[in-house]
Amino acid sequence: MTPQAARSKGRRAENYIAQELGSWYYGDLFSLERTTGSRSKKGYQDQCGDLGVAKSELPYPWVFSVEIKHRDYPKWKLDDILTKNQTSLIYESWIQCKKAAREGGKFPLLILKRNWFPLVVGMNVSDYIPVINSKGTRDLAIHVAPWNLTLFFLSTLITRTSAEDWVQRWRLKHGRTT
């Protein structure tokens, strides 16, 4: 695949993920968009990560800093977490995601995309457990304690949580009222 084709494929994947998350979070396919890495946009909420709000008037804040990694095997593989491989793409991406989230005052949300594989989401164990488990789920999740990382399928996040759950947790965690 040529570099231009790879970039185009990556943009399509990011647009797809933005639509999936926007539909779940705001009920609007076009409420989120790919960002260019800018910390903020005139007229919009502060943005960090690969996705940000596409509209200035939304019912509640976007509380995630999303990092999307679209690679195919062997660039990232789940057995890297079993060996605690700190040079792996998963670990390096997780560190980048947490740093951007900390700077932006948001929850880190790492999304790993591989060809022909469901989207995998990574988030802090401390953020995952109270929200997901409050819904009584028994869905598959992998907890990587040394990295404070939980990996699970995006479908679990979408079907087991709501924007209201996350906004409430974000306001409690960061002492915000708006």
Q: How far is Cα 39 from Cα 176, in angstroms, rounded to an integer?
A: 19
Contacting residues for 174 by C-beta, under 8 A, at least 6 apart: 105
DSSP sequence for 61-73: ---EEEEEEE--T
Structural domain boundaries of the chain?
Answer: 3-174
β-bridge partners, 143:
150
C-alpha distances out from residue 51 to 26, 85, 98, 108, 175, Å: 14, 27, 15, 12, 23
pLDDT by residue for the chain (178 residues), tens digit each?
A: 787 877 777 788 889 999 999 999 999 988 898 886 444 454 445 667 888 888 777 888 899 999 998 776 556 666 666 666 666 778 888 999 999 999 889 999 999 887 778 898 999 988 877 666 666 656 678 888 788 888 888 988 888 888 998 999 899 887 766 5
Model pTM score: 0.84
Q: How far is Cα 39 from Cα 100, in angstroms, rounded to an integer?
A: 10
Instruction: Please give the torsion angle defined by the CA atoms of residues 59, 60, 62 and 63, in that order, rounded to the nearest 10 degrees.
Output: -160
